Structure 1
């Protein structure tokens, strides 16, 4: 029996991050490496690259290989060579100059890159909706809450602008993140690639072209033991989930019946209370946010690494990084649904304000109006400037 999401609402969108996606990414690394060697050695290896078929690989053999060897690539390479031999093609150039870590690290960077690209697209959609909400509610007063108590008067527009700032920061984090290729051979020296090419420094050229073919960055080095690239990607994914978790938490509280400043369109049912409508999108985003910090801790702990391939710490990264990428993608998808169906109840917010706190806590109406305009304009301008035409489509 396999995991298929029965008790995993926070990561409901597994597309692009499941085992098949990781396997396809590993095969794509091997395919691209063949094409790099075709260029480097002036050989015709395109047929070999085309013959590699991730879908046809025996999953049971790969699963057994992971249990036996601790890494998936040891079993993967013979299966791929068998595909080449079955097609009447020479398998000798497959995996040339590479090691298991090159394939696993690069494949996981591909998976994370693609997942966060999807997340970014969803964040753009959510940001557009929040921009509209902030503009529409910039002069709708509400009581702001501080340490779980009534604070001073603010506006619903300021609330939406704060949410938008988080989304913008998450997009900014994705845009600033580098997804580097890994290529260094057995212990990161690139010696095997240099020997295969017959010249010193060939491994640098192989790495650079491999990065180009895969759409990843060339870090100009091997980072076998220097794990900050993984920590940076993991931090970005956690940043996305945290920004959305703040929105989900506010939406959950403000949509409570006794508050009612927010109305949510999407709702889940209850097995025991048919009348109940649960804020399901906010709930699943919150679940992702609660989980992501622990996963980030795993990556940070593994980053101390050691040797040229860490015993156990490197292995702990795989599932944690893949999971963080999945949570970021899933939370972003849920956030679009959440904000698309979210409405402010300005009348209810005003009624709560009327009964809130001392009159002295309420600033002059003109002062508040100007402050709200300034905050909303800054947030929406920041989003639009960062995203350019993407933010206005």
Structure 2
């Protein structure tokens, strides 16, 4: 008895081959027979996958024959085609059970073998009356048709494997980014405790050496906090379609920027930063994110700029836009690195210790994207390196 295996996948695969109806029609044409089909043949089943029937044989896609009652059962065992034009006059097939069971006189069946050597099924034609055709010519023609079907099935298999691999990679990436987000969130609590303890120790300790150690702990915890926040922002951006930005009308953006520069001076006392600002009230932005943007750009300039030359920071309006620029002197950015600057995990070629994860400029670009703005960079030995962030600074009333 045939088993109850589901062959819907094979039926759908053959249905996706646009050429199959034409192939079946051509099989009928070149053989003169009135029934043609693509069949799936396994150890236990003979299943019609596509049918062109002009003799009302009674099979439709999904229809089954008892495997042992078919010649395809023998073809599967030896992978050799079978063709005859007049069964009742044939020395072998006159007494064969298949022509006698189904009252067939003419028959052609060609194995469909995939590229990996797997026997898939057959391309076959039958009729209840004798046919008149050149068996060698039909064998070659139907052989080409069978190869064409096998090639299309192989292409579908390859495409399905590629799609599954892509889906697996996408899911792995999603889980990895979720893990990063959860890990970053869980790290902040103990790190906050370390930082607060270091602050208290630095105030209470009287020994200079011990105070320096407490200060080092505090600065390291601050740096770790910044790294964790960068990782969290990266994860939020990748998982949620961008870094979240909450814009509002801000009247004191200048004070936000002054605070950021003061923080950088505290951690980098040798840095020379010239600040020029002329920002009116009513700037439509996320002040925390704008502070983060400035911090990332200035920190980048401190790391990569000349230590004996000042960093120039400017913030002003230009029409309805706010323009924020950070410029430094020193080694210019290599031309090959310019297109990669705002991609995540891109760092300078030297990979200096303490350089960070390479997320600062990526996050800066995401902050600008959240403000419907842009960020650009220019770099040359003569002019130095300058980052310019620009975004519409006025709330548009609808």
* Bin of the TM-score, shorter chain as denominator length: under 0.3
Structure with greater strand percent = 2
Larger radius of gyration: 2
Identify which of structures 1 and 2 has the higher relative contact order when contacts are C-alpha pairs closer than 8 Å and 6+ apart: 1
